[in-house]
Amino acid sequence: DAGVIQSPRHEVTEMGQEVTLRCKPISGHDYLFWYRQTMMRGLELLIYFNNNVPIDDSGMPEDRFSAKMPNASFSTLKIQPSEPRDSAVYFCASSFPPGQRNTIYFGEGSWLTVV
Amino acid sequence: AQSVTQLGSHVSVSEGALVLLRCNYSSSVPPYLFWYVQYPNQGLQLLLKYTSAATLVKGINGFEAEFKKSETSFHLTKPSAHMSDAAEYFCAVSAGGYNKLIFGAGTRLAVHP
């Protein structure tokens, strides 16, 4: 069974360029999460969706960041324009609805470097 | 609001020694607690979780954790470390369901021969 699939795995871009990170959640999961990991701030929840609808985007750092989920099997996180301080690992995760037996599954991350 | 504090950003043990990684939480409601492991250049993998059932939780790879409400702790242990346990470990808390995991800063475990 395929896990959460993220692309690209690694990206190096110049400051000011647009960056789009992609995520395919596990089939059947109706919760999708975007996390960012940095040395300074650790793991931060940016936004999460339920049934393709954004539920909580309070972690999105600023207007340069946007996330969409056009259907149940695809989500994007876009940064426009990118800045060096956006360099981080971005994780996508998915799960079934909250409950005692459910687990949040993480993808392998997208390593972003903005120079 | 929920929060997690992991004591010790780096822990080093000898192969075969006890592993103890400390986690204290803060939550205004009964929490769900998790330990995740991250191997180099990989995503996070769930080790174990506490969801208000048994206070002693057993996970994968021989790890276990005990929920102690009086101490607001959820420390991770393994009786005998293996070289393959070298990784970063994250404690996380969620209240009111699994919607939002709040992670600790992580503890990097080194295992030496």
- Strands annotated E in chain B: 3-7, 10-14, 19-26, 31-38, 44-50, 56-58, 64-68, 73-78, 87-95, 102-103, 107-112
- Tally of CB atoms within 10 A around A45: 21
Contacts A–B by Cβ distance under 8 A: 51
How large is the average pLDDT for residues A59-80?
95
pLDDT value of position A104: 87
pLDDT at B102: 87
The pLDDT value given to residue B42: 87
> DSSP code of B41?
T
> In this predicted structure, what is the pLDDT of residue A98?
66
Give 3-state DSSP helix, strand, coil % of chain A, rounded to 5.
5, 55, 45
Record: contact B99-A99, CB cut-off 8 A: no
Mean pLDDT of B69-89: 96
A107, closest residue in chain B (CA to CA): B43
Of A43, A93, A100, the CB nearest to B90: A43
- Asked if the model's pLDDT at residue B77 lies above 70, the reply is yes
Structure confidence by residue, pLDDT tens digits, A10-37: 999 999 999 999 999 999 998 999 999 9
Point out the residue among B42, B96, B102 whose CB comes nearest to the CB of A108: B42
Q: Does B31 touch chain A (CB under 8 A)?
A: no
Average pLDDT value for chain B:
91
**What is the rounded average pLDDT of the residues B66-74?**
94
Q: Are B100 and A48 an interchain contact pair (Cβ–Cβ within 8 Å)?
A: yes
Residue A1: predicted pLDDT: 62
Which residues from A are below 8 Å from B42, CB to CB? 108-109
C-alpha B94/C-alpha B100 separation (Å) is: 6
Q: Ranked by mean pLDDT, which of A39-43, B17-21, B24-28, B51-55 comes out on top?
A: B17-21
